[in-house]
Structures are given as structure tokens and as C-alpha cells.
Amino acid sequence: MSDATELANAISQLGGQNKVVKEGGVEKAVIVPYAFGGDMRMTLARNLRILKGHVDDFSVARDALINEYSDGTGKIDPDHPKFSALNTAMADLGKQEIDVDLVLLKEADFRLGDNPIPPALLSSLLTIIE
């Protein structure tokens, strides 16, 4: 499950590159969109929609665990007697495998010569790159 969350976050970061530009002598931060084709953007959107459903399910399950182990308060401090058991349950939840049918993309679709996508982000996307 944690892999699905990582992949959803990585896809969400493909909106563009942060840059600082000067306008009228004033610096401001802007996002310069990556140069992806329409089919690529649509495939990313579909994959993200599929993953977000699973991420939302994970959030609901995580919140239920916190509620259960916190005796209904919704928060739990590290000195709470059930804190360690909650951490174990959360780790088990994160390890659960899910079956998702995502569309794979070709490396060429990312146009890496034109799009300076950071290696760490690409690493998180490898599961959907042929």
C-alpha cells in the first residue's frame, strides 16, 4: 500500500518544474509545466485516479486504527500504552499489497531531454515505466 501512496505522490509532482523568474526586477516563483503530450497527461490522470481510490481507502483504514488504539479519541501520544501496538498495526497496513491495473508508459513519453525531472522523482515512477 505504501508503494501506491508513493506512486500517487510522484505522479502528482509531474505538474511542472519550480523556477524563480524576474519580472520588473522582482523575483517570483512560478511552475513551468513539463512538456508532455496530451495522451501522456491523460494516462497519468487515469493512473492517478486509480491510485487515489486506494490511497483514500488506506487513509480511512489508518484513521480507523488510530481511533481504535486511541480508545476513540482520534489521537495517541507516544507514552500511551497502546502506541507500540498501533505502530505495528500501521506498519502491517502499509505492507498490504493491492492489485491495481495501471497503464504503463514508455521512457520516451517523459521526453527527458526537454523535461528536467529529478532522478528521485523518476525513481518513484519506475513501476509505471516500460
Determine the straight-line distance between the first and last CA of the chain, rounded to whole angstroms: 21
Answer yes or no: are the C-beta atoms of 8 and 48 closer than 8 Å: yes
Torsional class of 111: left (φ above 0), alpha (ψ -120 to 50), beta (otherwise): left
CA angle 22, 23, 26 (to 5 degrees): 70
Full pLDDT tens readout for the chain, 130 residues? 678 899 999 999 999 999 999 989 999 999 999 999 999 999 999 999 999 988 888 889 999 999 999 989 988 999 999 999 999 999 998 888 888 899 999 999 999 999 999 999 999 999 999 9
Check the CA dihedral 104-36-14-41 and report its sign.
negative
